[in-house]
Amino acid sequence: MNIFIDPLIVVCVFTALIHFTETISSSMRLTGVRTKQLALSLSFVNASLLISRMSNMLQAPLLGGMVDTSILQNTVNSLWGNFRIIIFAAFIGNLIGAIMTPFAVSVFTRAIRKFDQIGHVPGLIAYGFRPSTLVSVARSFRLPTLKTFRGLSLEGIPTLFLWLNLLMVSIYAIGVLCSLMAGALIPTYRVTATQLSGIVNGIATILFTLMVDPIAAHITDQAARGKRKEGDVRTVVFYIILGRVVGTLVLSQLFFLPGTVYIKGVTLFVRGVFLR
């Protein structure tokens, strides 16, 4: 019996997993403050993002196959709906990550403290898969409660970087999809369009590198040194994750069409350069 799984479903699962992992990694700032191990927390962030990168590696060929198939079958218009479903999957991944954040902070805090005792990753993995550890982790599972949101205050926290984070996440979630859609609309130059995803994601990367991450890191370092309350880091993590959820639910959907038109226009400009 042949088992057929719709590639769109697979892509949506990988997309949700990518954004779930990235949302969960945002909670590492709070973990670093609680354990006073900021460098080790950063290392754990990079380790957790391996899941995101591997999912992206598996997702990319399927996205390319969807575009190529739609071009061959002359069903390019169907990509508009499919890609919007994929963007919605990104929102689902962020939402699940947001819901799981308190539990993730608890697990990561425990893992970092245990790693400090063991001193190497294989030992930590072996410890993590012990039946007693798995049972203990399962028992510690918890979802956000009203208490989770108490004490959240933007007093003394610059808000511009939180708004920029919202914008950055919204753009970053659609960069590749915009380039693929533009390539489908101009199939003879779809390689050029695909390579132009950076002119969308590049904006998000610049915003994150210059305006978002340094401020969030500064607040985290101040809290670790006792110059700020831990509640400030909780507030920053909350609003960063909220930005991811709202951004992919609303702004990414709004920016998808303009972003596609933008990349299509640049692709046509590049084509004009070579056809003169």
Per-residue model confidence (pLDDT) at position 97: 94
% pLDDT > 70, the chain: 98
Between the alpha carbon of residue 217 and those of residues 52, 73, 262, the distances in Å are 22, 49, 33
pLDDT, tens only, 41-98: 777 777 777 878 888 888 889 999 999 999 999 999 999 999 999 999 999 999 999 9
Q: HSE-up of 6 (CA within 13 Å, CB side)?
A: 6
Is the pLDDT at 1 greater than 60? The verdict is no
Residue 269 domain flag: yes
Residue 23 domain flag: yes
Measured CA angle at 56 (ends 50, 62), to 5 deg: 150
Residue 2 domain flag: no
* Count of domains for the chain: 1
Residue 215 domain flag: yes
Residue 103 domain flag: yes
Residue 252 host element (H or E): helix 252-274
Structural domain including 198 reads 7-274
Joined together, the tokens standing for residue 176 give 């590749």
Is the pLDDT at 99 greater than 90? The verdict is yes
Per-residue model confidence (pLDDT) at position 206: 84
Per-residue model confidence (pLDDT) at position 268: 93
Per-residue model confidence (pLDDT) at position 4: 63
pLDDT, tens only, 136-157: 888 888 888 777 778 788 888 8
Q: HSE-up of 22 (CA within 13 Å, CB side)?
A: 25
Per-residue model confidence (pLDDT) at position 269: 93
Per-residue model confidence (pLDDT) at position 69: 93
pLDDT, tens only, 208-251: 888 888 998 899 889 888 888 888 999 999 999 999 999 999 99
Residue 68 domain flag: yes
Q: How confident is the model at residue 8 (pLDDT cuts 50, 70, 90)?
A: very high
b/e 236-269 (16+ beta carbons within 10 angstroms → b): bbbbbbebbbbbbbebbbebbeebbebbbebbee
Residue 1 domain flag: no
